[in-house]
Chains A and B, each alone.
Chain A
Amino acid sequence: MPIDIDIAHVARLARLDLTAEELESYKTQLDVILDHATQVQSLEGDPREESAHPLGLVNAFRQDERRPSLDRDEVLSQAPETKDGYFVVPPAMETQ
């Protein structure tokens, strides 16, 4: 069962700026992957359970204990812009 994917939408969600040729090429590749996924879906059993974890491992928790955090200078060292201990990024919100 072929799935019609909106490759431009997928690219937009992933913030990828692709050319028309690239879109076409990736669409062909994604079709193959989705076709494979369709076959997996036809298997019996609850895919949510079967695919949740490959090892059958459950309840891998840690206790509620603190561990040292990183030094802030190190945390901020790779940031293009910082101010008073904060990361600085361009504004992301718009309201009307």
Chain B
Amino acid sequence: MTWESVIGIEVHVELSTRSKMFCGCAVEFGAEPNTNTCPVCLGLPGALPVPNRKAIEWIMAIGLALNCEVSERSVFHRKNYFYADLPKGYQISQFDIPVCHDGYLDVTVDGETRRIGIERAHMEEDTGKSTHIGDGGRIHAAESTLLDFNRSGVPLVEVVSRPDIRSAAEARAYAQDLRAVVAELGASDARLEEGSIRFDANVSIRPEGAEGLGTKVEVKNMNSFRSLEKAVDYEIERQITVVEAGGELTQETRHWDEEAGVTHSMRVKEGSSDYRYFTEPDLAPMVMSASWVDEVRVGLPELPAERKARYSDEGLESDLAGVLSASPVEVRDIFDVAVAEGADHRRVANWLVGDVTAWLRRTETDPTKLPLGGKQLAELVEIVDEGVVSSSAAKMVLEGVLQGEGSPREVAKARDLVQISDVSAIEEIVAGVLADNPEAVKSYAAGEQKVVGFLVGQVMRASQGKADPKLVNELLRQKLSS
């Protein structure tokens, strides 16, 4: 039988507000444990939460960027469960009226674009952070648990997709694109390794073409896009193996073990999914007026998908548009300025995603410190067009510009890279090369056209790469044929 996988992704995004969701404690990664806590985020009796307006604006922005509707009215609920990192015994979350609902994200895998529905984006608070110690920190052998409540109450947006994803690769692409949107907005640091964006996958299988949904398994603990893809792939295969062997799947939560490359069943002691939601009586309902929503909408930056579409409209091929669109903002700004200066879109883009990006990587330079301007790049393209430097010499000019040696024209001169376009100068070198290579000249006369390439190379070498190759080619053929 052929199986179809049905996958939904839940994404948790920690917002990069200055203060927490319901109190004034600092949101700060890496602070000393339990130094950013107060009666509200420690769940001390009598403490009252007051929601952070900025967090509500961020979730509206995330929702709008994901093509969601913003609810006119929304309320907070208490989600009740017992766990040591949840000091109140409940998490303030949202149940039936989330801030945002019914959106989508278009995701492209291997050239095929599919629309992944987004059911909702709701506002909640993060829990404290548990560290399980004993036996190398492995969760199932822990002897005790350390708790840090600095993260308790950090504003958290949960984005829930519809079960529209059909492969592990698509799950990964969805997660990556969603991360790019959130990062573009500036709503979150969106760092996987710091846990400021986290992905859980709901995976089930069904016979190809079937309508219903199979038994759903939630997979957690993936801390990179790669592990998300691997975990989903593993889980799909595991489910198929169980079902084809005549077994039954259990609805459960499984924990991805990165080292072993497998998922384990994860049980919370005396756990229950009976959360007994009820409206949070300590918090007033929220009303998102049309004018407030518009205010947020107007403030949205150009999003990755829009930008990619714009680059395509400007004449870049899809791949180039995609890579440039995913480049750091400093690199894209150079593109916009260079193009405004009149430089060719494709050539500017190729410089940026090619040599410039390679240089950033090689020198481990932060893009914010990229010593290149749009005007300079436009000038580089211009001097190649004018024949001042050859394309290969242009790479060395760029290197000089990036090392702060001056403008492209200045570097070309200073590094002695200006192309020789003077006919008599090149003729002289050509004559010398022909005199030194009588064998090649004979072969050409005997009809061997390909020796021209060899001779061009000799001339270029003799000119230290500075001769205009087009002119060299022309003059060589003239001389050989005469």
Contacts and interface: CB of A to CB of B under 8 A. Distances in A.
User: Do A and B associate with each other?
Assistant: yes
A91 B145 contact: yes
B24 interface: yes
B269 A93 contact: yes
Contacts of B265: 95-96
Contacts of A12: 270, 272
B35 A93 contact: no
A59 interface: yes
B19 A61 contact: no
Nearest to B28: A66
Contact of A95 (B56, B140, B146, B281): B140
Contacts of A60: 50-51, 283-284
B405 interface: no
A48 interface: yes
Interface stretch (B37-45, B196-204, B302-310, B394-402): B37-45
A29 interface: no
Contacts of B36: 69
Interface string B260-271: 000011111110
A85 B34 contact: yes
Contacts of B188: none
Nearest to B75: A52
A33 interface: no
Please report whether the interface of chain B is mostly helix, strand, loop or mixed according to DSSP: loop
A66 B26 contact: yes
Contacts of A18: none
B150 to A, nearest CB: 9
A88 B145 contact: yes
A57 B268 contact: no
Nearest to B22: A62
B29 interface: no
A62 B24 CA distance: 9
Interface in A28-63: 48-49, 51-53, 55, 57-63
Contacts of A48: 75, 96-97, 279
Contact of B23 (A52, A67, A72, A89): A67
A92 to B, nearest CB: 5
B284 A96 contact: no
Contacts of B18: 64-66
A71 to B, nearest CB: 9
Please report whether the interface of chain A is mostly helix, strand, loop or mixed according to DSSP: loop
Contacts of A9: 274
Interface string A72-83: 100110000001
B270 A64 contact: no
A86 B17 contact: no
B132 A57 contact: no
A15 B399 CA distance: 68
Interface in A1-29: 9, 12-13, 15
Interface of A: 9, 12-13, 15, 48-49, 51-53, 55, 57-70, 72, 75-76, 83-96
Interface of B: 17-19, 23-26, 32-39, 42, 50-56, 73, 75, 80, 82-84, 96-97, 130-132, 134, 139-140, 142-149, 255, 264-270, 272, 274, 276, 279, 281, 283-287
Given A53-B283, A85-B34, A86-B146, 4 more contacts: A49-B285, A60-B51, A61-B50, A86-B131
